């Protein structure tokens, strides 16, 4: 069964979603970078950028670690989102990189930068889980 490309309308929708997420992620990375260059000082007065993290965080050490992890995560996401945009241009968007089948639209709506279909993804997760044990 060959994968069929998404409709122009759908592609446009996903492109808009991806661009919005990309901007959000880049703004976030920018923010954290600015915070870090200011030094890891206590958040005296300026709570705006910390409020989100502090909601369920304990110590400052955890906060820093959390920031680094979030930053890594966001950077990876930016990379994937850029990949997804390129795929839209190349007409390969929404196609699983592993089996070449369509990735379901409901999955793309949740993760517009998904590289694999749900079947391949769960197979890989299984493998990872087994390797870890």
Residues 29 and 129 sit within 8 Å (Cβ to Cβ) = no
Assign residue 104 a region: left if phi > 0, alpha if psi is -120 to 50, beta otherwise?
beta
Q: How far is the CB of 93 from Zn ion (least distance, A)?
A: 14
Nearer to Zn ion, 6 or 117 (CB): 117
Q: Which stretch binds Zn ion (CB under 5 A): 5-13, 16-24, 97-105, 106-114?
A: 97-105
Dist CA 104 CA 89 (whole Å): 19
Q: Does 3 bind Zn ion (CB under 5 A)?
A: no
Candidate list 99, 111, 115, 123; residue touching Zn ion; CB under 5 A? 99
Q: Give, for 65, the enclosing helix (H) or strand (E).
A: helix 60-90
Q: Does 121 bind Zn ion (CB under 5 A)?
A: no
Give the footprint of Zn ion on this chain (CB under 5 A): 96, 98-99, 117, 120
């Amino acid at each position: 069964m060959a994968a069929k490309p998404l409709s122009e309308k759908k592609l446009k929708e996903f492109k808009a979603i991806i661009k919005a997420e990309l901007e959000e992620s880049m703004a976030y990375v920018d923010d954290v970078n600015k915070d870090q260059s200011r030094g890891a000082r206590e958040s005296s007065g300026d709570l705006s950028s910390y409020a989100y993290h502090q909601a369920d965080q304990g110590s400052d050490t955890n906060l820093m670690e959390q920031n680094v992890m979030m930053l890594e995560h966001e950077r990876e996401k930016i990379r994937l989102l850029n990949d997804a945009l390129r795929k839209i241009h190349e007409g390969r968007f929404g196609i699983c990189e592993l089996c070449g089948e369509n990735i379901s639209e409901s999955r793309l709506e949740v993760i517009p930068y998904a590289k694999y279909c749900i079947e391949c993804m769960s197979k890989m997760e299984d493998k990872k889980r087994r390797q870890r044990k």
